[in-house]
Amino acid sequence: MSLLLLGNILSFLGAMIMVLVGFVKSRKKILGAQVIQFILMGFGNLALGGVTAFITNMLSIVRNLICFRFRFTWPLKIGFIVAQVGLSVFALLNGQGSMPAGRDPFGIIMWFPIIGTTLFTLFLDVQSDVKLKVVIVISQVFWLIYDFAIMNFASLTFDILTIISTIIGIVMILRGKEKEEIVVA
């Protein structure tokens, strides 16, 4: 089986979970489902040469597990961001990972998983579920561009679907709040 096919199959399975997460309202359920998603998509990206995405996904698993048990403080946030950037720089400087020819001429796109995940990490402890979902949408745009560049077509498709489902989730939350305000008023 080719790595392109294997990477897309694993990413497809993880992406199905990613889209379903867009409809979830509970922060704990979102973080739990993301652990499974990160495992599948991380190895899918690794099969496609996406080392920075693999590193990002594996560190995101640890981050989410810590968020279940502890308050996610600024030192933890900074620690995860430094680890993510440091491990990615180390991997890239040692020739790990690949980007199809002509897909990242300025070497910027390979950093998009790190940028998107850093944004998510910075705002993970935001109290508003709507704000968290907005951050998820913004983060997902970075992943969408990256997935296009490494030809991760399964993830690319689901990046789009995740953005749509998360926006629907935001609307559902906001409509629920409107109904609560009407009842109270």
Stretch 23-49: mean pLDDT: 86
Q: What is the pLDDT of residue 178?
A: 66
Would residue 72 be called left, alpha or beta, if left means φ above 0 and alpha means ψ between -120 and 50 degrees?
beta
Domain ranges across the chain: 3-170
Q: What is the pLDDT of residue 65?
A: 86
pLDDT surpassing 70 at residue 99: no
- Gap between the Cα atoms of 63 and 59, Å rounded: 6
Comparing 137 with 179, the larger pLDDT belongs to 137
Tens-digit pLDDT profile for residues 151-178:
888 889 988 988 998 999 999 999 887 6
